[in-house]
Amino acid sequence: MSDRFVTVETFSREFEAQIVKARLDAEGIESIIADGNMGRIYPGAIGVRLLVREDDVERVKKILLRAQFTNVNE
């Protein structure tokens, strides 16, 4: 398993990232929210990044598409 975390999605608000993180937690996928504090200082101006292990990227994208999170890139 890769120890490298990569950005899988960027959200405009931290609560959106928290919802997705909870879904991934339920699926047993480790994720990290980055830049959440900056989003509190500059709401909407700085994206809140959701990171997952590089090995989980494809699985996470499928989960997000099924959950109808439309910002998922390829």
Please state, rounded to an integer, the average pLDDT across all residues of the chain.
83
Neighbours of 50 (CB within 10 A): 26
The order of strands in the sheet holding 31-34 is 5-11, 48-53, 31-34
Let me know if residue 25 belongs to a domain. Answer: yes
State which residues form the domain around 38.
5-66
Q: Is 52 within a domain?
A: yes
Number of domains comprising the chain: 1
Q: Is the pLDDT of residue 74 over 50?
A: no
| Residue 39, domain member (yes or no) | yes
When pLDDT is averaged across residues 21-47 and rounded to a whole number, the result is: 80
pTM higher than 0.85: no
Question: pLDDT digits over 38-68, tens only?
Answer: 555 566 567 889 999 999 999 999 998 887 7
Confidence of residue 25 (pLDDT cuts 50, 70, 90): very high
For residue 72, tell me if it sits in a domain. Answer: no
Residue 73 belongs to a domain = no
